[in-house]
Each structure stands twice: as structure tokens, then as C-alpha cells.
Amino acid sequence: MKISILLIVFLTFLSCKENITIPKPPTYLRLELPEHQYIDYSDDCPYILPVSKMFEVKKVTRGEELTCHKDIDLGPLNGIINFTYIDMEEPLSTYVNYVNDKIDEHKVKATAINDYKVIRPEDDFYCTFFALEGNVASPFQFYMTDSVDKFAYGVVYFNSTPNYDSIRPSLDYLKLDLDYFIENFQWK
């Protein structure tokens, strides 16, 4: 009888063993991206775009008419740069304020907004680049101008739900391409 009771108590303890599962952290696919190589894209528009060889520049039309706006497909990075060119008819401040308003729309989701300027007066080139951190729709935005006639505005979008941690490797890779783009951009 004592053995039966001990056996029942022992089996009860064994059956009460709790399996504790520990959740695994989320993982993301590792990107295998090529070395950075660049080409100059030029057409009838008043600029030369220095883009990565793995990107594809697509012309944008308005109805039947070609424009100097471009969509730059980011290839394996699964995104696009909307590049808008404007022949300035208003004061420069109108266009700069428009871009700043677009940046301000991201303040709700952005954890930080960093900017830097590139100024090359010998080339009539003035640029401000914005890097937005956090789960924002467009992590990079920039505008460039000659301050008199020409104004261009670029916005980067990824074809995925904004998750800053998961797209961080793509952002780091793209940032090098955008730095090259801005440092080597030329007006015609």
C-alpha cells in the first residue's frame, strides 16, 4: 500500500512538470548585395544622375508627355526613389517650405530626423539631405537646387511595412549610394 501511494505521488509530480517555452527573437533575411558601382544617367533633362548600376531609372509621363521626373527602382532593395524636377517659377523658399512640411509630417513616427547640407557653389549646387529614423514611410528625403532656376526633390520608399529594425541593413547600404548620388550630382 505504501509503495502504491508513493508511486501515485511520484507519478503526480512527474505529470505536473511544466514545459516552459522561450520565444525566439524575430529574424530577418540576410541580404547579399553587390559592391557599389555607379553609372551616370543622362537624357534631355537638365541634370545628370549618378546612380548605382543595380538601380533602374524609369521615365515618368504626364499623360502622353514625358517629364523630367524619374522613378529610380532600387532593385533588390525592394524600393523606389521618387525624383521630382521643377523649373522654379516661385521663390526658392516656397519649394523649401514644401519639403520641410513633408518632413514634418513624419515627426509623429520618427524617433530622430538628422540632416546635413552639401554646398558646391562652383557647381551652383545646394542640397539638404534628411535621414529619418524610426518606422517612417520614407526614411530618406532630400532636395537640391541651383538657388535660381532649378529645384529637385527626392523621396525614398520601400515596398514593405515600415519596420526600422528589419530594413536597417538596406538603409545602411542605400545610404552609401545616396551619398554618392548627392556628392556627384551635376546640373547641365
AA identity, residue 149:
D
More confident residue, 140 or 65: 140
* Percent over 90 (pLDDT), the chain: 68
The answer to whether 33 and 76 are in contact (CB under 8 A) is yes
The answer to whether 127 and 142 are in contact (CB under 8 A) is yes
| Residue 74 confidence (pLDDT) above 90 | yes
| Residue 15 confidence (pLDDT) above 80 | no
pTM, full prediction: 0.81
| Residue 126 confidence (pLDDT) above 80 | yes
Order the strands of the 47-52 sheet from edge to edge. 38-42, 47-52, 186-187
Average pLDDT over residues 61-83: 91
Rg of the Cα atoms in the chain: 26
Helices and strands (DSSP H and E) totals, the chain: 3, 10
Over the stretch 91-115, which tens digit does the pLDDT of each residue have? 999 999 999 999 999 889 999 999 9
